[in-house]
Structure 1
Amino acid sequence: MSEEQEPEKKIVIDSDWKEQVRQEKENLKGEPEAEASPSPSSKGESSPDSSPGAGQFPPADFTLLISMLATQAFSAMGHIPDPATGQASKHPEVAKHMIDLLAVLEEKTKGNLDAQEKAAMESVLHQLRMAYVAVKQS
């Protein structure tokens, strides 16, 4: 048997990767956001946003979270009709749970909110609590 030599394995280190990333970031700064990130369909991937009729979502932030919970609470108090039936229904226990969730969120984020977020939280909680009292009295 003859000994065959295996080809020598080489390790290639791309030491320029940081520079390439920096250049890509600079190139993307001048392009509009839609062009800057390739669409999932161009990569052959699918995402929930690529379904027909899917709209753009607002940026995820704290005030959006507050707004979503408050909307659920107002809906549970009968202030917002159900889109499917067009009828408003009251579920005070659900409304109270949403208000309590917002109160927990307020407590856990105390000292970490900017002035606008803090004011939004206090205002929403006040409005919800007053509306809840009105619903419970009727």
Structure 2
Amino acid sequence: MQTLQMGAMVGLGMLQGPDGKRPPVDLPAAKDAIDLLGILQEKTKGNLTKEEEEVLREGLYHLRMGYMAMINAPPAGRKKEGDPR
């Protein structure tokens, strides 16, 4: 579970590499990891402790929100509509 969460975070550009730089965003890889976590959540329902369910649910929520923020963000260097700058 943690490996998939970390993979999604790397794909979303949420983590820095050992050199201190962020890897390039890879939305398809992030989506795949998030989708796999969703499948794990579905298939393990009723077989996890409350703590494990909470960790999975909260992690998925934050990853999904991060993914949505990334796909809805304007491309870098392009100003938002209505932005006077």
TM-score, normalized by the shorter chain, greater than 0.5: yes
* Structure 1 spans left out of the alignment, 5+ residues: 1-65
Deviation at 1:119, TM superposition (A): 0.6
Q: Name the CA distance, whole Å, in 2 between partners of 1:137 and 1:83.
A: 28
Which residue in the other structure is 1:131 paired with?
Answer: 66
| 1:70-89 alignment runs, 5 A limit | 70-83=5-18, 86-89=21-24
- Residue of structure 2 in register with 1:67 after alignment: 2
CA RMSD of aligned residues (A): 1.4
How do residues 38-77 of structure 1 correspond to structure 2 at under 5 angstroms? 66-77=1-12
When normalised by structure 2's length, the TM-score is: 0.78
TM-score by length of 1: 0.49
Specify which structure has the bigger relative contact order, considering alpha-carbon pairs within 8 angstroms and separated by 6 or more residues.
2
**What is the 5 A alignment of 1:1-138?**
66-83=1-18, 86-138=21-73
1:26-45 Cα shifts (integer Å, max 9, x gaps):
xxxxxxxxxxxxxxxxxxxx
Decide whether aligned partners of structure 1 residues 87 and 117 sit closer, same or farther in structure 2, where only a CA change above 3 A counts.
closer
* Count of aligned positions: 73
Report how far residue 84 of structure 1 moved: 5.4
Structure 2: 5+ residue runs without aligned partners? 74-85
Asked whether the equivalents of residues 14 and 22 of structure 2 are also in contact (C-alpha less than 8 Å), the reply is no
Amino acid aligned to 1:127: H
